[in-house]
Amino acid sequence: DDGSAGEKGNVISALCKVLEENKIDMIQTCGPHKMMEAVATKAQEAEVFCEISLEEKMACGVKACVGCSIKTLDGMKKVCHDGPVFDSKIIVDVNPKENLGCNCN
């Protein structure tokens, strides 16, 4: 963030600069959830397709538990089976606070 190793600022300030200076067709992001949310918001504002990788959310990795379930516009999804990469526009809540059921099919 302090610029000692490249650009001064955070990922969002760097992304804004890239979006202003280049024609971008797609953004892929991974990392802290709040950062990915901010990247997805900027991508949507710029009308750029964005994918989010949620691999760190996986629990068992074989679709046996519901530890990696996320809420999407298409219902509950399991990161280990349906992802781990998702279109940012379909994700409703990466960390649902309530038990919303699970699409285990």
Closest C-alpha to 86, from 49, 48, 51, 35: 51
Ramachandran class of 50: left when φ > 0, alpha when ψ lies in -120 to 50, beta otherwise: beta
Report the CATH fold assignment for 54-105. Answer: Dihydroorotate dehydrogenase B (pyrk subunit); domain 3 (2.10.240)
Q: For the chain, what percent of residues have pLDDT higher than 90?
A: 55
* pLDDT tens-digit map of 8-21: 788 899 999 999 99
pTM: 0.78
Ranges in the chain annotated CATH 2.10.240.10? 54-105
**CB 82, CB 73: distance < 8 Å:** no
49, β-bridge pairs: 26
* pLDDT tens-digit map of 65-101: 888 888 999 999 999 999 999 999 999 866 655 554 4
Using 50, 70 and 90 to split pLDDT, how confident is the model at 1?
low
Closest C-alpha to 86, from 40, 41, 46, 45: 40
